[in-house]
């Protein structure tokens, strides 16, 4: 059985490494969607970044995910641990910056 969240939830904070403010909104997703990040601060192009092992890019001090066009999202490890700990399989994570806030 696959799970998602019941309704959207948002939080804001500052990126640990970049120092940039960011707002994150977690949205429910349909079965077999998987977990994806969407960079709302990017005006054009492929804004979607998969939360998969094959999207991990080498980065010091954090986990960085990158899509096929090179767009990335950093410091995803704490959020992804919480998502996994809650048993969530399908989720759209919208973020308006390059790093998940702490």
Going along the chain from its start, the domains and CATH numbers come out as 9-95 (3.30.230.20)
Single pTM value for the model? 0.94
What mean pLDDT value characterizes the chain?
96
* DSSP annotation of 53: G
What integer is the mean pLDDT of 47-69?
A: 95
Asked if 8 and 90 touch (Cβ cutoff 8 Å), the reply is no
Asked if 91 and 26 touch (Cβ cutoff 8 Å), the reply is yes
Q: Strand 21-28 and strand 91-95: pairing?
A: antiparallel
Q: 43 pLDDT exceeds 90?
A: no
Q: Give 44's pLDDT tier (boundaries 50, 70, 90).
A: confident
pLDDT recorded at residue 29: 98
């Amino acid at each position: 059985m696959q799970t998602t969240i019941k309704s959207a939830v948002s939080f804001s904070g500052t990126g640990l490494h970049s120092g940039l403010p960011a707002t994150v909104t977690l949205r429910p997703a349909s079965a077999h969607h998987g977990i994806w990040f969407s960079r709302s601060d990017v005006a054009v192009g492929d804004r979607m970044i998969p939360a998969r092992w094959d999207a991990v890019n080498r980065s010091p001090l954090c986990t960085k995910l990158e899509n096929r066009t090179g767009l990335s999202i950093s410091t995803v490890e704490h959020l992804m641990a919480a998502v996994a700990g809650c048993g969530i399989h399908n989720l759209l994570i919208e973020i308006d910056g390059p790093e998940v806030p702490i």
